[in-house]
Amino acid sequence: VSPRRIVASSDVEQSYIMIKPDGVQRGLVGEIISRFEKKGFLLKGLKLFQCPKELAQEHYKDLKERPFFPKLIDYITSGPVICMAWEGDGVVASARKLIGATNPLQAEPGTIRGDLAVQTGRNVVHGSDSPDNGKREIALWFKEGELAQWESVQTPWLIE
Ligand code: IDP
Ligand code: MG
């Protein structure tokens, strides 16, 4: 069974989480990954990647009429990003909570954006906004074979 088939046929929820170029440049990669690890979700894919313009445009296609769209594409393609696939029941909504509000000044302390960022245009991390978009975005950012099929030894201590 190929990794792609596992994702496509899986009922398990997955979220596409991406550390944006500012998070990489500011040395926040370990800190941000650590928050998802400690929460107890399962990391299924991870890579450092320089995003081509076309991929950034496709990823953010719902925002293409917005005035900030060209700047958003420049931002996301301005340096390498960390692409991640995280798995677990409720991971999409939970990751959005861990990440915090889009505007870091409105994000609660304790959230990634609330603790680590000050501007919407430099908000360090992306998280899928629905399970369907989680699937769509993981298929967009990862190639076949890039996702691992594994279970953590922690799973029985996280899920009863
Ligand atoms: P989200 O990342 O919290 O889901 P979205 O509304 O989906 O927020 O916007 C996607 C990304 O576009 C944001 O994370 C941010 O990087 C950028 N963005 C959204 N609104 C603005 C804005 O008003 N000015 C500049 N950048 C924005
Ligand atoms: Mg969004």
Residues 46-98 pLDDT 10s? 999 999 999 999 999 999 999 999 999 999 999 999 999 999 999 999 999 99
What per-residue confidence (pLDDT) applies to 54? 98
Residues 129-144 pLDDT 10s? 999 999 999 999 999 9
For residues 110 and 87, give the distance between their C-alpha atoms in angstroms, rounded to a whole number. 22
Assess: ipTM above 0.85.
yes
Q: Read off the pLDDT of each residue in 143-147 and give the average, rounded to a whole number.
A: 96
Nearest to 132 by CA among 10, 14, 1: 14
Q: Where are the alpha helices (DSSP H) in 14-158?
A: 21-25, 29-39, 53-59, 69-76, 91-99, 112-116, 131-141, 155-158
What per-residue confidence (pLDDT) applies to 98? 98
Contact 7, 147 (CB under 8 A): yes
- Which residue, by CA, sits nearest to atom 20 of ligand 1? 120
Q: Is 126 a catalytic residue?
A: yes
Residue at 21: amino acid letter: P
What per-residue confidence (pLDDT) applies to 10? 60
For residues 43 and 158, give the distance between their C-alpha atoms in angstroms, rounded to a whole number. 14
What per-residue confidence (pLDDT) applies to 1? 39
Mutating to test ligand 1, I would choose from 102, 122, 128 the residue with most ligand atoms within 8 A of its C-beta, which is: 102
For residues 158 and 39, give the distance between their C-alpha atoms in angstroms, rounded to a whole number. 9
Residues 3-50 pLDDT 10s? 443 444 468 999 999 999 999 999 999 999 999 999 999 999 999 999
Ligand 1 contact, 96 CB (< 6 A): no
For residue 53, report the distance from its CA to the centre of ligand 1, in Å: 17
Both ends of the chain: CA-CA distance in Å? 27
Residues 103-122 pLDDT 10s? 999 999 999 999 999 999 99
